């Protein structure tokens, strides 16, 4: 791997007091986990929805020539491919999160695969993810008309003329450039129970069949077609299981992926022996007619996923608990629970006939809880150093907390429907909640993530327009320190730059490069034993990299903005 040329620490540096950032990098510290964050703005100018990889200083190190709004997922696969969905118009499925198209781009921006998962009765939505074998899992809304719903025991009094959009999970094997093979699928419609019509074969008591979905439980749907509103899926290769989140039921689920295509529609088979039935569910026992003292734990949640092997709390489920509808006050939390599978990957009910635990074993909330409330979308990620990266998607804000739950890094997405904001401007408020710069997810990838093998990632400029003075001090990966303290000013500058050395002057060489790494000759003048002046009069406006090396071979690297 060709390592990134700059950035082992990123500090707020050199900002004038009047230059308080409103977008892009807001806050950072030396403790920030080193990596690259994927920014895929949902609300963006027509035909100009870029996908960006940024460093800890908010500078673009790579981007893909995507043009359509994601619908909603964007993930960087270990092989370097960008997996993303995009929105396609549907004749009647129009709820938030609709996608319909799925793309694979290689790291260099070549579109490899473009597959449409949308027809007259179904469409992909919200989350897609990849399996270790390269196959793709997709969440799909699937329409059932009123006649089908009544035939499955739905109370007609709670059924609109548009029927129900149920949920499927389908595994696809991409076939380049624009087709796919269906390898496996699972459908909620095959795992329903009801206690409304005793003449139907799926009649039963939902309270003693938590492995099934009660077709007459309304949750937040209130009888509208979008009944469950699944919004997240994740895959656990060790268990060969899938986790799914349903916002309107306030629940997360685990199902068996080891079943055959036929077994997934039944109640037997697979490693669990239970076919496609629910193995585990958590968050709202009322959905299966149980009312324990602990009550409802989740509120309109998103982003259920297993914490990956090798990370703190590995194997547990992390959930972004949006908190919408939480009483007596609404606030968001990031929660971790341990579903405690047995050696065979099965889960047990507790003494209250519900799936435990009674509450989350770890949570993050703001010191004043209502200060952190993302009403929809959003997610979180446990990092290798024990920190947690949190995406307040409603406000387009990503922040990292340390193990003491202090915010140590913060970034605000500057891309909005009307264009990319200038630094100093703020995203407009959304009519309902949040601001017009949403982010569904913002995953962070370590510097040694396999996708970066063989790639050279050089910081260029921030996403936002008219950025302030460069506010990050970069240090070479080869050297962790410089033998003496130096500063560069003024920055930005239109003509001359002064390099000042504090203490003994150990500077041996000064190299100036443009953002593609080409050395630029410049006139240097010695003002004193400790000051060197650099003439930038002949430079074009833009960002330049100054590499200042001391006589011991240690190097500090700075960004300098040349104005007109």
Task: Return the domain boundaries, the chain.
Answer: 478-562
Mean pLDDT of 557-564: 80
Mean pLDDT of 223-228: 94
pLDDT bin (cut points 50, 70, 90) of residue 516 is: low
Place of tokens 């990620």: 381
C-alpha closest to that of 87 among 73, 104, 75: 73
Cβ proximity of 391 and 439 under 8 Å: yes
Residues in the chain: 564
SS3 assignment for 205-248 = CHHHCCCCEECCCCCCCCCCCECCCEEEEEEECCCCEEEEEEHH
Cβ proximity of 111 and 81 under 8 Å: no
Residues 305-350 pLDDT 10s: 999 999 999 999 999 999 999 999 999 999 999 999 999 999 999 9
Cβ proximity of 245 and 304 under 8 Å: yes
Average the pLDDT over each of 40-49, 361-370, 393-402 and give the range with the smallest value: 40-49
Question: What does the alpha-carbon distance between residue 179 and residue 114 come to, in Å, rounded to a whole number?
Answer: 8
C-alpha distance from residue 519 to each of 27, 333, 545 (Å): 31, 48, 9
Cβ proximity of 333 and 364 under 8 Å: yes
pLDDT at 7: 35
**What does the block give as tokens for 440?**
């569904």
Residues 178-199 pLDDT 10s: 999 999 999 999 999 999 999 9
Cβ proximity of 218 and 226 under 8 Å: no
pLDDT at 474 over 60: no
Give me the sign of the Cα torsion angle 194, 198, 203, 207. Answer: positive
3-state secondary structure of 285: helix
pLDDT at 489 over 90: no
Stated as kind and residue range, the H or E segment containing 444 is: strand 444-446
C-alpha distance from residue 219 to each of 247, 293, 300 (Å): 9, 19, 10
Give me the sign of the Cα torsion angle 259, 263, 264, 270. Answer: negative
* Phi, psi for 343 (deg, rounded to 5): -65, -20
Distance of CA 267 to the CA centre of its chain: 33
Question: What does the alpha-carbon distance between residue 300 and residue 331 come to, in Å, rounded to a whole number?
Answer: 11
**What does the block give as tokens for 2?**
């060709």
Cβ proximity of 37 and 463 under 8 Å: no
Mean pLDDT of 126-144: 98
Question: What does the alpha-carbon distance between residue 96 and residue 471 come to, in Å, rounded to a whole number?
Answer: 36
**What does the block give as tokens for 292?**
């324990």
pLDDT at 515 over 80: no
C-alpha closest to that of 214 among 199, 234, 197: 197
pLDDT at 54: 97
More confident residue, 476 or 541: 541
| Mean pLDDT score of the chain | 91
pTM passes above 0.75: yes
pLDDT at 1: 36
Residues 440-463 pLDDT 10s: 999 999 999 999 999 988 888 899
Mean pLDDT of 80-91: 96
pLDDT at 4 over 60: no
Cβ proximity of 409 and 28 under 8 Å: yes
pLDDT bin (cut points 50, 70, 90) of residue 161 is: confident
pLDDT at 6 over 60: no
Mean pLDDT of 147-161: 95
pLDDT at 477: 33
C-alpha closest to that of 468 among 498, 489, 491, 486: 491
pLDDT at 18 over 60: no
pLDDT at 56 over 70: yes
pLDDT at 479: 36
Mean pLDDT of 22-47: 93
C-alpha closest to that of 141 among 112, 173, 111, 118: 118
Tell me whether strands 192-193 and 213-214 are parallel, antiparallel or unpaired: parallel
pLDDT at 36 over 50: yes
Q: What percent of the chain has pLDDT over 90?
A: 78
What's the topology of domain 478-562?
Immunoglobulin-like (2.60.40)
Q: What percent of the chain has pLDDT over 70?
A: 93
pLDDT at 471: 56
How do the residues of the chain divide into helix, strand and coil, expressed in percent and rounded to 5?
5, 40, 55
Half-sphere exposure of 381 (CA within 13 A, CB side): 22
Question: DSSP string covering 169-202, please?
Answer: EEEEEEETTTEEEEEEEEEGGGSEEBSS-TTSTT
Question: DSSP string covering 268-284, please?
Answer: S-TTTSSTTS-SEEES-
Cβ proximity of 67 and 90 under 8 Å: no
Cβ proximity of 357 and 337 under 8 Å: yes
């Amino acid at each position: 791997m060709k390592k990134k040329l700059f950035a082992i620490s990123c500090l707020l540096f050199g900002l004038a007091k009047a230059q308080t950032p409103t977008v892009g990098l807001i806050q950072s510290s030396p403790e920030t986990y080193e990596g690259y964050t994927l920014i895929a703005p949902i609300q963006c100018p027509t035909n100009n929805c870029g996908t960006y990889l940024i460093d800890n200083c908010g500078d673009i190190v790579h981007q893909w020539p995507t043009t359509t709004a994601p619908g909603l997922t964007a993930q960087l696969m270990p092989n370097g491919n960008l997996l993303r969905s995009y929105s396609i118009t549907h004749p009647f499925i129009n709820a938030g999160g609709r996608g319909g198209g799925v793309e694979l781009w290689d790291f260099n921006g070549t579109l490899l695969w473009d597959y449409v998962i949308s027809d007259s009765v179904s469409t992909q939505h919200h989350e897609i993810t990849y399996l270790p074998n390269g196959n793709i899992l997709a969440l799909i809304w699937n329409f059932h008309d009123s006649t089908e719903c009544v035939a499955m025991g739905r109370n007609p009094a709670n059924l609109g003329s548009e029927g129900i959009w149920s949920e499927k999970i389908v595994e696809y094997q991409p076939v380049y450039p624009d087709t796919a093979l269906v390898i496996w699928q699972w459908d909620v419609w095959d795992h329903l129970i009801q206690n409304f019509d005793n003449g139907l074969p799926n009649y039963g008591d939902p309270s003693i069949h938590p492995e099934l979905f009660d077709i007459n439980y309304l949750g937040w749907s209130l009888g509208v077609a979008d009944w469950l509103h699944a919004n997240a899926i994740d895959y656990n290769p060790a268990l060969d299981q899938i986790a799914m989140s349903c916002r309107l039921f306030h629940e997360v689920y685990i199902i068996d992926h080891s079943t055959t295509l036929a077994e997934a529609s039944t109640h037997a088979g697979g490693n669990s022996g239970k076919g496609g039935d629910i193995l585990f569910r958590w968050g709202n026992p009322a959905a299966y007619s149980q009312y324990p003292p602990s009550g409802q734990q989740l509120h309109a949640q998103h982003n259920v996923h297993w914490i990956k092997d090798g990370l703190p709390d590995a194997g547990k489920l992390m959930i972004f608990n949006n908190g919408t509808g939480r009483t007596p006050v609404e606030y968001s939390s990031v929660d971790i629970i341990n579903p405690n599978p047995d050696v065979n990957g099965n889960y047990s009910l507790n003494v209250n006939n519900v799936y435990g635990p009674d509450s989350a074993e770890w949570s993050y909330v703001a010191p004043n809880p209502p200060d952190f409330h993302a009403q929809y979308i959003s997610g979180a990620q446990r990092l290798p150093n024990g920190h947690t990266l949190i995406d307040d998607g409603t406000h387009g804000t990503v922040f990292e907390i340390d193990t003491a739950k202090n915010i140590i890094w913060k970034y605000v997405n500057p891309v909005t429907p009307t264009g990319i904001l200038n630094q100093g401007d703020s995203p407009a408020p959304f009519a309902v909640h949040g601001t017009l710069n949403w982010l569904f997810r913002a995953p962070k990838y370590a510097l040694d993530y396999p996708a970066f093998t063989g790639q050279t990632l050089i910081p260029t400029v921030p996403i936002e327009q008219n950025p302030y003075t460069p506010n990050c001090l970069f240090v070479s990966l080869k050297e962790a320190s410089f033998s003496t303290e130096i500063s560069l000013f003024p920055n930005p500058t239109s003509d001359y730059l002064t390099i000042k050395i504090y203490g003994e002057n150990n500077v041996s060489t000064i190299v100036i490069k443009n953002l593609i790494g080409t050395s630029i000759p410049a006139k240097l003048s010695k003002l004193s034993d400790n000051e060197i002046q650099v003439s930038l009069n002949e430079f074009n406006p833009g960002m330049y990299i100054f590499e200042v090396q001391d006589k011991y071979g240690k190097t500090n690297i700075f960004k300098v903005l040349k104005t007109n």
